Amino acid sequence: MQFHQKVIMSELRLMKGNEALAEATIRAGADAYFGYPITPQSEIIEYLMTERPENRTGMIVLQAESEIAAINMVYGAASTGKRAMTSSSSPGISLKLEGISYLAGAELPAVIVNVSRGGPGLGTIQPSQADYFQSVKGGGHGDYQLYVLAPASVQEMADFVSDAFDIAFKYRAPVLILSDGLIGQMMEKVVLKDHKDRMPDEEIIEKYGDWATTGKKGRERNIVTSLDLQSEKMEARVHRLQKKYEQMEKEDLRYEEIQCDDAEYLFVAYGSSARIAQKAVQLGRAKGIKIGLLRPITLFPFPKQPLFELANQVKGILSVELSAGQMVEDVQLAVNGKVPVEHFGRTGGIIHTPEEILEALEQKIMQDGSK
């Protein structure tokens, strides 16, 4: 089939985080998007609908009747070896969790985007990072993990889409892009990459193996399921999943160290909080406090080893997140009591200022440390 694909090279645009992610999805050669609108991520489905990607690359965009329908459509598309994506915001992701657990259980590659908002419940439509536990501590049922990418800029909203698809297919596992209302709604310049073609079945089989239900042509049938009533088989499946997660930790851990070389104090922050904490690092250094920032880019796998090593060097660590204190638990586990670890964060859709973060460091860590 021929599509009227415009030859678009990489280009510089001013875009909203949500729009950049949507455009990058078309350019990443995705086959399908199934979604349901919810603020603050509605621009993703709005942009995809307006762009008519079915004319550009042949990509399907469909507004499902609910979030639950959308995630199960992703399950269906992924079963056929197609690159499928869905997106939502916190309450919608809660609805999708059953499907996400099934994707993980059936070892299907898919990309799920959470542009999170304040909770619990319907909460607020303002930004929040209170879905950390939901994203990295299971969320759905069973022994599974998601590979979780946390973009901190509009550029990363765009870049992480094709990375996410690559990881999802490498491991045959669902990948979550955990953004928030701040990055999703923020406008920034973004360099969009060139178009990648959608992969035909033959290429997917060659690259990732013959596991999908692409039509049984003289081979044994492929069965995609998360059900194994024989305990031994189910345990083997769980072990296989755990092996994947270990491999992710070895090969695909991502993090960024900002001004950590001479740091005496450390912020740990991801996503939008990392952007704000970066300013707090500058403010602190202007006052003569040597602060560094460790930004986990993948929340699972979590950069335990780099944190453990930095704990030998710094006097105290402040975990900064737009939540009541979730990632701080993983920081404490990684640091294992070597230095004091405290949490700072605003909730309910309020965004902390760099000054507030610096003040929290001075009050919670520096004063305690001098006792």
Partner 1 sequence: MAKVRGAIVVNTEVCKGCEVCLPVCEEKVISMSKEVNRKGYHFAYMSNPDACTGCTNCAIVCPDRAITVYRLKV
Using CB under 8 A, list all residues that contact partner 1: 16, 39-40, 42, 125, 185-187
Shortest Å, Cβ 125 to partner 1: 5
The helix/strand/coil state of 119 is coil
Q: Which is nearer to partner 1, 272 or 298 (CB)?
A: 272
State the Cα–Cα distance between residues 206 and 69, nearest whole angstrom.
Answer: 31
Q: Which is nearer to partner 1, 158 or 263 (CB)?
A: 158
**Which strands make up the sheet holding 32-35, listed edge to edge?**
60-63, 32-35, 84-88, 110-116, 174-180, 147-149, 298-300
Q: Which is nearer to partner 1, 72 or 124 (CB)?
A: 124
Q: Which is nearer to partner 1, 19 or 156 (CB)?
A: 19
All residues at 6 or more sequence positions from 150 whose CB lies less than 8 Å from its CB, including other chains: 177, 178, 179, 270, 271, 296, 297, 298, 299
Q: Which is nearer to partner 1, 187 or 236 (CB)?
A: 187
Shortest Å, Cβ 126 to partner 1: 9
Q: Which is nearer to partner 1, 189 or 243 (CB)?
A: 189
What angle, 0 to 180 degrees and rounded to 10, lies between the N-to-C axes of helices 67-79 and 90-105? Answer: 30
Q: Which is nearer to partner 1, 125 or 333 (CB)?
A: 125
Shortest Å, Cβ 284 to partner 1: 25
Shortest Å, Cβ 356 to partner 1: 18
Helix (H) or strand (E) holding 200: none
Q: Strand 291-296 and strand 255-258: pairing?
A: antiparallel
Cβ atoms of 228 and 143 closer than 8 Å? no
| Residue whose token pair is 């657990």 | 101
Shortest Å, Cβ 40 to partner 1: 8
All residues at 6 or more sequence positions from 285 whose CB lies less than 8 Å from its CB, including other chains: 259, 291
For 317, list phi and psi in degrees, rounded to 5. Answer: -130, 135
Shortest Å, Cβ 155 to partner 1: 16
Q: Which is nearer to partner 1, 42 or 79 (CB)?
A: 42
Shortest Å, Cβ 344 to partner 1: 23
259: which 2 tokens? 């001004």
State the Cα–Cα distance between residues 35 and 47, nearest whole angstrom.
Answer: 12
All residues at 6 or more sequence positions from 231 whose CB lies less than 8 Å from its CB, including other chains: none
Shortest Å, Cβ 113 to partner 1: 17
